[in-house]
Structure 1
Amino acid sequence: MAFAVFGHVPGVGKSISVDLWELGMRSIEDLAKGDPDTMFEETRRLAGGSMDRCVLYVYRCAVAAAKNPDLDPALRKWWTWKD
């Protein structure tokens, strides 16, 4: 179910879709309201304290794309959202 909802979002694959679902997100609208830093910290907590920082970059990209369906193609690449 999670991938059916989020799989078309840039940078989001099956694993990240499940992570978003575990954060309580059920729609693109929920994702658009998300805060990537808070989402990352909660995902890290759920994973037991360890999480690759790339997940944060994917969250930044995904939230931006959810807020703006016409997001610049260059910004649809998660690595564009690195620190």
Structure 2
Amino acid sequence: KKEKKIATHACISSFLSFALLCALDPDQPELTVQNLPWYLELRKPMLIMFVGEDESPETSQSLEEMRTAERTGRLDSAQPCWIHL
């Protein structure tokens, strides 16, 4: 159970961190009612991240991991976008 809990936490942290990355990247605008049609026209799976107010060492580390994934093209199969909570 402990390993599953750690894996779940890591996954959630990665999602939140990637959302922060998208928030800082003007090429990845916030998902809104107005731009949803644009995202849908891309015909790619959307990777939707939910951004909160928290900032922690784990979040910063996950953010760096997601930046690396984006730079290396590992996220090319999905369209990242974010929603601020």
Q: TM-score by structure 2 length?
A: 0.30
Relative CO higher for 1 or 2, CA cutoff 8 Å, sep ≥ 6? Answer: 2
Q: Hey, which of these two has a bigger chunk of strand by percent? A: 2
Q: Hey, which of these two has a bigger chunk of helix by percent? A: 1
- Structure (1 or 2) with the larger CA radius of gyration: 2
